[in-house]
Copies of this chain bind each other. A is one copy, B any other.
């Protein structure tokens, strides 16, 4: 009968913000509830009131990451040329990952051990890949791409960008490596591989 939940929204944002900073600075391992609460001038219990648990707090970071990511993907200008559009979308993917590398780890690499995204968060995540599917479906319908299952092509494209980005972020790429150039070339080669007839092929460099 009394006092409906009036969670302190300012504190909530402050905690999320600081949590992102802590992870960005020293990795997911460095995100401690005591440090987080101390920095925000509150106590660990507040985190439990506002989020429920540490994984739930990470879940909030996860959805925030996909919100930004989805915005970048949806906001990428498209030309109607399938290969070029896939390259553009892939570049937006990388840009987003490099802008918030710590969020990327949470979103795609399970970098926080105990964490699993909940139903809603996972659904939001899947939504963000819709532009990719749209391009591919149209390219198949127009006879530009091979008549393979759209999911197959979509997953293949996703794999290239995810693979490249995660290799880059984990420092697995060789030194003195032209990341940006190679990235575009690899994307273009991969997309060209799905063309029904390879008209002009690709032209790296």
Partner-B contacts on A (CB < 8 A): 27-29, 108-111, 113-114, 146, 148-149, 151-153, 155-156, 158-164, 166-167, 170, 172-174, 177-178, 181-182, 185-186, 188-198, 201-202, 204-205
Q: What residues of B have a CB within 8 angstroms of the CB of A194 in the complex?
A: 189
**B114 A152 Cβ-Cβ under 8 A:** no
Q: Sample 14 A-B pairs with CB under 8 A, ordered by A number.
A: A29-B113, A109-B166, A109-B170, A110-B170, A148-B205, A149-B178, A152-B204, A155-B167, A155-B173, A155-B177, A156-B160, A160-B160, A189-B190, A198-B198
Q: What residues of B have a CB within 8 angstroms of the CB of A29 in the complex?
A: 113-114
CA A45 – CA B181 in complex, angstroms? 49
Most buried by B among A170, A172, A181, A205: A172
